[in-house]
A and B are shown apart, each in its own frame.
Chain A
């Protein structure tokens, strides 16, 4: 095999490996402290989980719904926050819809990698937490490192699915 072919194969190898890595990254991540933020009385098979729409753009909400369809095998409905908080209307029945997941987006400026002499980089991370709609109790969010940006729902729902598998 000539050096030229080896170089070409090396480029191909690198491309192939990084394509595989991009295709599989983040989709498997979980939060190890799921037992601390999933309500003790929550059973994904009992009742329908209300999930607040993605706090950012419609496009992100569509991606979240697509993810849920593929990866969250329990009953759920994605609704606006007013429907979760309302005591009237379709979702008023707390026996049918006992729990909800609401999101909080946290934006911050992170110092630039060169020690803060350059421009700070904006960073957005999405935190989810459960709400018991019967009592109104809000459960905590994860205490683990969350640097999943706009796809913070991925490790959130992966953790729930893993917990009840």
Chain B
């Protein structure tokens, strides 16, 4: 993993996760920022992490697996099979965030072009 690879990981995985945790632990926030933004950042970080792992080349299996897992996660929570609370709005947030991560993937691939050209 070279320097650009680490920067990509830092910008798209570490920072969103840190911001998400920050929002979770900040009490005075409310509404979308408190309830859905951390979920959106979590999904962004998940999709980005998998894309970075595959050198910013879309691996259809893992992309589909991520979407399916996110939806299944909320369904399982809704039926109390796993801890938490199922929320259809959260599913929408995951799908939007994952889709945006995929749509911007090419941008990050070009941005860190040097990195991925030399790690393949």
Contact = CB atoms under 8 A, between A and B. Distances in A.
Interface stretch (A50-58, A133-141, A146-154): A146-154
Interface in B57-93: 59, 62, 65-66, 69, 73, 77-80, 82-87
A13 B46 contact: yes
Contact of B27 (A1, A32, A162): A162
B49 A17 contact: yes
Contacts of A26: 83-85
A10 B28 contact: no
A82 interface: no
A30 to B, nearest CB: 6
- Interface size class on chain B is 20 to 34
B102 interface: no
Nearest to A5: B53
Interface SS of chain A: helix
A8 B80 CA distance: 29
A6 B50 CA distance: 9
Interface string A5-46: 010011001100110111011111110100000000000000
A28 B86 CA distance: 14
Contacts of B78: 147
Given A13-B49, A21-B73, A149-B80, A6 B35 contact: no
A14 B47 CA distance: 9
B69 A18 contact: yes
A28 B90 CA distance: 14
A32 to B, nearest CB: 6
A61 interface: no
Contacts of B24: 24, 27-28
Interface of A: 1, 6, 9-10, 13-14, 17-18, 20-22, 24-30, 32, 121, 147-151, 161-162, 165
Interface of B: 17, 21, 24, 27-28, 30-31, 34-35, 38, 42, 45-46, 49-50, 53-54, 59, 62, 65-66, 69, 73, 77-80, 82-87, 119
9 contacts: A6-B54, A14-B69, A17-B46, A18-B73, A25-B77, A29-B85, A147-B85, A162-B28, A162-B30
